[in-house]
Amino acid sequence: MRRIAFIISVLLILNGLTHSASAQYYFFDDNYYDNEVIIEVGASGGAMNCLTDIGGRPGIGGRFIKDLNIGNTHPCSGIFIDALFKNKFGIRLEGTYGQVSAYDSILKGVTDIAKERYNRNLNFKSTIREISAMVEIHPLFIFINYASRDQSPPRFSPYLLGGISYFSFNPQTKLGTSWIDLQPLSTEGQGFSEYPDKKPYQLKQINIPMGVGIKYEISPLINVRGEFVYRKLNTDYLDDCSATYIDPAVFYNHLSGSQLYNALLLHDRQIEHKMGPGSIRGKSKYNDAYFSFNVKVSLIFGRQRIRD
């Protein structure tokens, strides 16, 4: 009940803001006009994927789309509130929920350098929860003046967006029929005194979202958007794989019980043990990333019917 009351209160406040900004208005068409500030409240659904050290496409691979595996795409969803000033600039608050995953076994049968990733035999999945604050820029409206009925605004509006996000993740790997949390195991020696250069990674972090989209006005009160957003992360441990193999004897100095047992099993899962301690397990040169494509539907507040 408290959440429902909070949402209703926010909507009432936003509705008041749109009316208070009505000193100047802009015609949407012959029947509706926009206040200086209009509010969109909506929901989204789409697809999420990631770029990490694990899995990828057959071949040497490379940065971004060169190593993207479409088969690892998962559904995602979200809700958002967007305040648009003269339809030129927007400020958005958005919550997103999704999942990312990758696995080296997808490279089975390759005959080139990617076979080393297949032999590494790692896999992971992680739930993503994100809250973001972003700014939108709508270039068409910056250069178009539609303050009279003689010129209606375009129904389509491409836009750019960027901002800051706070997100949580928790890489897990499958062992038998169970999914094991990887971060507490320090699989690459993170936080161990024997490896002072390997720092523990946090499961809640900041990222930088950047994207493009296009908005289409279905009606004066409803619009839809198609949107791509790429998140620049400050970690290479979205998949718990980044640097080098460590000496398994070190685990006995820091872990015990089930954590020790799992760490010994999961830090090195090579099919053929070709790589020893100190050898490359992942590539730390580039941080991981995840991205999404969403279709958004929103209701518009602050667009009012003309009364003749």
| pLDDT confidence of residue 61 | 53
Confidence grade of residue 55 (pLDDT, cut at 50, 70, 90): confident
Confidence grade of residue 188 (pLDDT, cut at 50, 70, 90): very high
Task: List the beta strands (DSSP E) in 169-286.
Answer: 172-175, 178-181, 204-219, 222-232
Confidence grade of residue 74 (pLDDT, cut at 50, 70, 90): very high
Token pair for 246: 């460590």
CB 282 within 8 A of CB 236: yes
| pLDDT confidence of residue 228 | 98
Q: Which tens digits make up the pLDDT trace of 126-140?
A: 999 999 999 999 998
Token pair for 42: 């909506």
Distance, CA of 94 to CA of 79 (rounded, Å): 6
DSSP tag of 89 = E
| pLDDT confidence of residue 41 | 98
Q: Counting beta carbons within 10 angstroms of the beta carbon of residue 94, is it exposed (0 to 12), middle (13 to 18) or buried (19 or more)?
A: buried
| pLDDT confidence of residue 142 | 84
Q: Which tens digits make up the pLDDT trace of 103-117?
A: 999 888 876 777 888
Its domain, for residue 181, covers 2-305
Residue 13: which H helix or E strand, with range? helix 2-20
- The CA–CA distances, whole Å, from 135 to 13, 62, 138, 158, 208 equal 20, 30, 10, 14, 12
Q: Which tens digits make up the pLDDT trace of 226-251?
A: 999 999 999 999 999 999 999 999 99
Confidence grade of residue 14 (pLDDT, cut at 50, 70, 90): very low
Residue 10 has pLDDT above 60, yes or no: no
User: SS3 of 105, please?
Assistant: helix
pTM of the full predicted structure?
A: 0.86
Confidence grade of residue 87 (pLDDT, cut at 50, 70, 90): confident
Token pair for 220: 């004066």
Among 55-64, 136-145, 162-171, the range of highest mean pLDDT:
162-171
What is the bridge-based pairing of β-strands 172-175 and 25-27?
unpaired
Say what percent of the chain tops pLDDT 70: 84
Confidence grade of residue 286 (pLDDT, cut at 50, 70, 90): confident
User: SS3 of 57, please?
Assistant: coil
Least confident range of 10-14, 136-140, 259-263? 10-14
User: SS3 of 248, please?
Assistant: helix
| pLDDT confidence of residue 208 | 98
Tell me what the pLDDT averaged over the chain comes to: 87
Name which residue leads in pLDDT, 200 or 273. Answer: 200
Alpha helices in 130-189 (DSSP H): 139-142
Residue 150 has pLDDT above 50, yes or no: yes
Phi, psi of 104 (to 5 degrees): -70, -25
Domain of 237, CATH number, reads 2.40.160.20
Token pair for 195: 């490896």
Residue 143: which H helix or E strand, with range? none
Mean pLDDT of 60-78: 79
| pLDDT confidence of residue 6 | 45
CB 293 within 8 A of CB 78: no
Task: List the beta strands (DSSP E) in the chain.
Answer: 25-27, 32-51, 74-85, 89-103, 123-137, 156-168, 172-175, 178-181, 204-219, 222-232, 289-305
Mean pLDDT of 53-77: 78
| pLDDT confidence of residue 63 | 60
Confidence grade of residue 21 (pLDDT, cut at 50, 70, 90): very low
- The CA–CA distances, whole Å, from 165 to 11, 128, 129, 211 equal 23, 12, 10, 13
Q: Counting beta carbons within 10 angstroms of the beta carbon of residue 70, is it exposed (0 to 12), middle (13 to 18) or buried (19 or more)?
A: exposed
Residue 28 has pLDDT above 50, yes or no: yes
| pLDDT confidence of residue 86 | 86
Considering its fold, how many domains does the chain have in total? 1
Token pair for 285: 């040169």
Confidence grade of residue 259 (pLDDT, cut at 50, 70, 90): very high
User: SS3 of 17, please?
Assistant: helix
Residues 6+ apart with CB under 8 A from 247: 194, 277
Closest C-alpha among 303, 294, 239, 235 to residue 80: 294
